[in-house]
Structure 1
């Protein structure tokens, strides 16, 4: 199965095909695919964004899926939240979840592409995105587009799967992603999730071969995001990144900013999944 594409149209078509049949069981399977850590990782990402933008009034969640992160925002803050996802079926199920949580007055979900967001410049006080960069052809260009819609000084945070670096955990992770995930996906979600299980491990491995974490951090900075921090999660199975949209065109730090927030997060040790 292919894990990267030559054009945005190819990447978008693949992503829609992969996820169109999955929304009803997406949240259950997301926990399986993340070793049961998906909810913890999402909370860590929202925490990082809130430390940088505690008074955010308008938030964008990109690749929102069935609105899990959007709902996490709504539980933590009174901000208005817009969730964007490429897949119409994901958005449909997400709207049902939002309604069940009585959050329709706070959350709005729309169909859209991360590579070309349907919003003006500097529209949002904070932005999060989840499991996105493996599904775009040009991560650097996508990061520039994400940063475009955030106001200067606003927080940007992300969550992605990762590859453990320590040999013992890397071996265990490789066995899990190559053998257990396809079987677990089939058992809990049928043929569609078995396909996702087969795709996920090679997709993650090949993404970091093409785009190591250090290069991704450089792309964040090139997109005008400063104070970039990285936190590995669950023995290296996930990675949360965060930063602040530069307050000037040159990306110079603002004297009124609160760098201690990023420093506090950066100082946290790697999580052991507890």
Structure 2
């Protein structure tokens, strides 16, 4: 499954996953231009971690729950000759194994739909971020325009299951079936405006959002309050 992950991520994101990830990292790097230590949560196969090292002179710690993804990520890092700048660890976003204020910037990708308490998870992500540092995320989103929303529903309910099956077999066919309803359900419970409130509640200010690819992707970023020095 991990060997197909990058291909499937492109299929499931209308071919936009790479562009979305770059937009997220670029936003974080602009917010924290002097960042040296970066944490990438839900790093998967290390695509974001690798782009961070393309984009800036940083050292990246990537953390992910899935050992198989991390093995593939280590292969990708070694292939690119970045093992001296990227280390990958297994762990949970809800319980990060780092002291307070350990990192200059924190990014996370496709995470909040998979945690029980998004607000509490954001508090934990902000805890390990230094005051003034950038927090940035990428998530799938639901287009707001009625026409594009109808097209998105058709794509996620019809095309994705077939595309997942053709590129990854039955297991990824199930992923395709799951994705659309999962995204819709997430935003019914946690609308974007409420998620922004979660960020504010975690001590992150100047929160900005950028909807991409007609609303299919959502990049969000902000800066940890200087007053949040104790996490």
In the aligned structure 2, how far is the partner of 1:29 from the partner of 1:150? 31
Residues 1:79 and 2:68 are matched in the alignment: no
**Offset, 1:77:** 1.0
In the aligned structure 1, how far is the partner of 2:110 from the partner of 2:92? 14
**Offset, 1:83:** 0.3
Normalising to structure 1: TM-score of the pair?
Answer: 0.83
In the aligned structure 2, how far is the partner of 1:129 from the partner of 1:42? 10
Query: Residue 255 of structure 1 corresponds to which residue in structure 2?
Result: none
Counting only pairs closer than 5 Å after superposition, residues 131-150 of structure 1 correspond to structure 2 as: 131-150=110-129
- Alignment deviations for residues 207-251 of structure 1 (CA, whole Å, 9 cap, x no partner): 00000000000000000000000000000000000000110149x
In the aligned structure 2, how far is the partner of 1:74 from the partner of 1:89? 22
Matched residue SS, 2:43: coil
Query: Residue 70 of structure 1 corresponds to which residue in structure 2?
Result: 49
Query: Residue 150 of structure 2 corresponds to which residue in structure 1?
Result: 171
Matched residue SS, 2:96: coil
**Offset, 1:156:** 0.4
Q: Match for 2:132 among 139, 149, 153?
A: 153
Query: Residue 242 of structure 1 corresponds to which residue in structure 2?
Result: 221
Matched residue SS, 1:157: strand
Structure 2 stretches of 5 or more lacking a match?
none
Normalising to structure 2: TM-score of the pair?
Answer: 0.98
Cα RMSD after superposing both structures: 0.8
Q: Is the 8 A contact 2:131 2:228 kept in 1?
A: no
Q: Match for 1:99 among 78, 84, 89?
A: 78
Query: Residue 88 of structure 1 corresponds to which residue in structure 2?
Result: 67
How many residue pairs end up in the alignment?
229
Structure 1 stretches of 5 or more lacking a match?
1-21, 251-274
Counting only pairs closer than 5 Å after superposition, residues 1-274 of structure 1 correspond to structure 2 as: 22-249=1-228
Matched residue SS, 1:156: strand
- Alignment deviations for residues 98-127 of structure 1 (CA, whole Å, 9 cap, x no partner): 000000000000000000000000000000
